[in-house]
């Protein structure tokens, strides 16, 4: 084989965008400033179950169970132990594979020899639910190829390997396309793409459901920690800054520092020159400031905070300029949005934005003091005092009530009465986090714990392994599980429900903004509260409610803090904390 020319290598390297952390020796001496590395890894997983085969499968599919065996990713000439799919005049072959849990990635297919050495066409359908993998791209249940291709026809090679797909899925349907065809399939493995990072944080209590919810929230966010921090792995696969707040709270509680957070915050900043708002939404630029505050409190990274000053100060000035003579927010130069379920309630949106502006400017004042811009800090504090003179009505919105409570504009107990009305009806997966935080502010820890059980718990009972873009407990009666084909007479929990941008199968079943219970349980049940930047001072103030114990770890820049909390026979709570040197621990009541 001829040795490639130097110019050819340079062209190749110029085109190479996602390559190796360390390049092979053949590239020695070449300057590769444009080469990027991936933070994710790839693992290959065999399916755990064959969920469905075409009618009369025995005459069209042979040895399907072979696909459940671990593979090696290599075609060979043995011709043994193959799954054979066959189409003829009597019917066509199709199979639905279940990989056991939600994954981000694609599919690897290993083929044997085909008739005449010609490629064989197959249709691939990915699905977050079994019914989505069985669906067509149509206008009935809103199955789409938006953001990620999940339904397409490809040609498989003769005696070879093909890797396809880049989406969020648990199920894959494979159909042989041509009317007369045969496919000899050695393997069909999921390509699992994820950040292989340790779970430094942990949570365990006397309720196994809460333990599972904590882990599910952590896993949901981990899947979305791709090149950047996404909202969902099927859709939208974008850096939505508001969605990032629950996600970054989860990352801090579970993984500690991870560069996907500053990388994503910086991306949002770089593509949003002022006076534009991030993602076009006025609230999302405020979320950017709130994340910067929370991330600085966790990491204590003053160098990174200093880098934000040139953008942060003008943004704070811009937000302050949007307060009118009635001391009301007047953020009308961008999309006014809290979350989708509240988007039809303009009075609630106004109340929520008023409260968010208070929260944002308070956080901004703290950041400005840390940046030694005390003049700007005083300006933010003065603006907060103005906003406190105008308290809008929540208009019966749990979203608005939560923000009004957290900002201090509404008494916590008054807000809690709105939040407690009809239990978890009118909760949302995004703002449910702030509803839980507002209940904690009112001291209503027990009903907050119950809300986690009653709102996030049913998703797990329906087969979820990650938390969804939205959920409504009114969907529960007669609903099918996502890991089964919908039985006759039952409702399809995925295809039959949804609203706004997430109708039917377009609905994302892995959305990072739904992970709120994970950081909430760490903060309020385990009791971890950050008092000083870099976690140098932590207040441990647990609230067990009806739990008998809770224990876990919390990652800090100085190391792991371990906490054990146990309810004593006399009703008091014992707290044992082990912390690294450099961290001051304040126990509740001390």
Nearest to 185 by CA among 56, 47, 91, 88: 47
Question: What are 91's strand-pairing partners?
Answer: 88
Q: What is the spatial distance between Cα 509 and Cα 468, in angstroms, rounded to a whole number? A: 4
Strands 584-587 and 537-540 come out as: parallel
Cβ within 8 Å of residue 102, ≥6 positions away: 128, 168, 169, 170, 219, 223, 233, 464, 465, 466, 509, 510
The enclosing H or E element of 288 equals: helix 282-299
Q: What is the spatial distance between Cα 558 and Cα 536, in angstroms, rounded to a whole number? A: 8
CATH superfamily of 42-194: Galactose-binding domain-like (2.60.120.260)
Nearest to 291 by CA among 572, 513, 566: 513
Q: What is the spatial distance between Cα 127 and Cα 234, in angstroms, rounded to a whole number? A: 9
Tell me the two tokens of residue 563: 């906490």
DSSP 115: G
Q: What is the spatial distance between Cα 168 and Cα 191, in angstroms, rounded to a whole number? A: 11
DSSP 501: T
Q: What is the spatial distance between Cα 367 and Cα 376, in angstroms, rounded to a whole number? A: 10
Q: What is the spatial distance between Cα 428 and Cα 198, in angstroms, rounded to a whole number? A: 29
Angle, nearest 10°, between helix axes 412-419 and 398-407?
A: 160
**CA angle (102, 103, 104) in 5-degree steps:** 140
172-191: pLDDT as tens digits? 999 999 999 999 999 999 99
Q: What is the spatial distance between Cα 470 and Cα 455, in angstroms, rounded to a whole number? A: 11
Q: For residue 23, with 0-12 CB atoms within 10 Å meaning exposed, 13-18 middle and 19 or more buried, which class applies?
A: middle
Q: What is the spatial distance between Cα 451 and Cα 210, in angstroms, rounded to a whole number? A: 11
**Are the C-beta atoms of residues 194 and 140 closer than 8 Å to each other?**
no
**Are the C-beta atoms of residues 186 and 158 closer than 8 Å to each other?**
no
pTM above 0.85, yes or no: yes
Would you list the DSSP string of 224-237?
A: HBSSSB-SBTTTT-
Q: What is the spatial distance between Cα 551 and Cα 557, in angstroms, rounded to a whole number? A: 20
Listed by start position, the domains of the chain span 6-37, 42-194
Strands 18-19 and 36-37 come out as: parallel
> How many Cβ atoms sit within 10 Å of the Cβ of residue 572?
10
Question: What are 551's strand-pairing partners?
Answer: 204, 564
The enclosing H or E element of 552 equals: strand 549-556
Tell me the two tokens of residue 43: 């693992």
Q: What is the spatial distance between Cα 412 and Cα 440, in angstroms, rounded to a whole number? A: 9
378-421: pLDDT as tens digits? 999 999 999 999 999 999 999 999 999 999 999 999 999 999 99
pLDDT at 2: 45
Local confidence pLDDT in tens for the 590 residues of the chain: 444 445 544 444 444 444 444 667 766 665 555 667 789 999 999 999 999 999 887 889 999 999 999 999 999 999 999 999 999 999 999 999 999 999 999 999 999 998 888 999 999 999 999 999 999 987 667 889 999 999 999 999 999 999 999 999 999 999 999 999 999 999 999 999 999 999 999 999 999 999 999 999 999 999 999 999 999 999 999 999 999 999 999 999 999 999 999 999 999 999 999 999 999 999 999 999 999 999 999 999 999 999 999 999 999 999 999 999 999 999 999 999 999 999 999 999 999 999 999 999 999 999 999 999 999 999 999 999 999 999 999 999 999 999 999 999 999 999 999 999 999 999 999 999 999 999 999 999 999 999 999 999 999 999 999 999 999 999 999 999 999 999 999 999 999 999 999 999 999 999 999 999 999 999 999 999 999 999 999 999 999 999 999 999 999 999 999 999 999 998 899 999 999 999 999 998 75
């Amino acid at each position: 084989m001829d040795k490639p020319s130097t110019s050819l290598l340079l062209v190749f390297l110029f085109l190479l965008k996602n390559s190796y952390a360390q390049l092979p020796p053949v590239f020695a001496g070449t300057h590769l400033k444009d080469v990027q590395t991936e933070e994710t890894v790839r693992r290959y997983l065999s399916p755990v179950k064959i969920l469905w085969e075409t009618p009369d499968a025995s005459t069209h599919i042979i040895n399907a169970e072979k696909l459940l065996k671990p593979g090696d990713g290599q075609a060979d000439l043995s011709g043994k132990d193959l799954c054979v799919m066959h189409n003829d005049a009597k019917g066509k072959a199709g199979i639905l594979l279940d990989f056991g849990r939600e994954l981000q990635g694609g599919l690897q297919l290993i083929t044997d020899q085909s008739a005449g050495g010609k490629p064989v066409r197959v249709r691939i359908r990915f699905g977050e639910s079994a019914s989505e993998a069985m669906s067509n791209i149509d206008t009935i249940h809103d199955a789409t190829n938006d953001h990620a291709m999940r339904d397409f026809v490809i040609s498989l090679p003769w005696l070879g390997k093909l890797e396809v797909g880049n989406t969020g899925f648990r199920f894959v349907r494979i159909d042989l396309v041509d009317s007369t065809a045969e496919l000899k399939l050695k393997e069909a493995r999921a390509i699992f793409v994820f950040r292989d990072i340790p779970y430094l944080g942990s949570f365990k209590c006397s309720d196994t459901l809460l333990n599972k919810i904590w882990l599910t929230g952590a896993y949901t966010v981990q899947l979305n920690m791709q090149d950047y921090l996404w909202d969902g792995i099927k859709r939208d696969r974008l850096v939505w800054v508001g969605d990032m707040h629950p996600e970054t709270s989860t990352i801090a509680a579970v993984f500690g520092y991870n560069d996907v957070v500053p990388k994503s915050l910086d991306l949002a900043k770089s593509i949003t020159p002022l006076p534009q708002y991030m993602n076009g939404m006025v609230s999302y630029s405020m979320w950017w400031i709130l994340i910067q505050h929370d991330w600085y409190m966790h990491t204590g990274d003053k160098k990174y905070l200093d880098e934000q000053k040139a953008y942060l100060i003008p943004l704070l000035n811009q937000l302050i300029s949007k307060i009118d003579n009635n001391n009301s927010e007047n953020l009308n130069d961008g999309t006014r949005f809290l979350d989708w379920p509240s988007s039809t309630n303009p009075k609630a949106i106004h109340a929520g934005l008023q409260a968010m502006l208070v929260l944002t400017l308070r956080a901004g004042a703290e950041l400005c003091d840390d940046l030694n811009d005390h003049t700007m800090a005083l300006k933010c504090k003065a603006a907060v005092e103005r906003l406190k003179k105008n308290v809008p009505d929540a208009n019966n919105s749990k979203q608005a009530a939560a923000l009004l409570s957290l900002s201090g504009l509404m008494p916590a107990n008054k807000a809690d009465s709105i939040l407690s009305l009809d239990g978890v009806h009118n909760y949302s997966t995004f703002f449910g986090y702030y509803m839980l935080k507002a209940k904690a502010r009112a001291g209503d820890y027990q009903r907050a714990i119950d809300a986690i059980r009653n709102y996030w718990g049913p998703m797990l009972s329906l087969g979820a392994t990650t938390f969804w873009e939205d959920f409504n407990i009114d969907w529960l009666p007669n609903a099918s599980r996502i890991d089964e084909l919908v039985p006759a007479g039952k409702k399809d929990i995925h295809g039959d429900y949804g609203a706004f941008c997430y109708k039917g199968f377009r609905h994302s079943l892995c959305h990072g903004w739904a992970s709120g219970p994970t950081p909430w349980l760490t903060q309020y049940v385990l009791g971890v509260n950050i008092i000083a930047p870099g976690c140098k001072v932590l207040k441990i103030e647990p609230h067990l409610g009806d739990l008998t114990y809770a224990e876990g770890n919390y990652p800090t820049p100085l190391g792991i803090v371990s906490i054990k909390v146990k309810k004593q026979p006399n009703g008091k709570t014992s707290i044992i904390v082990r912390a690294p040197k450099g961290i001051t621990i304040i126990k509740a009541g001390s």
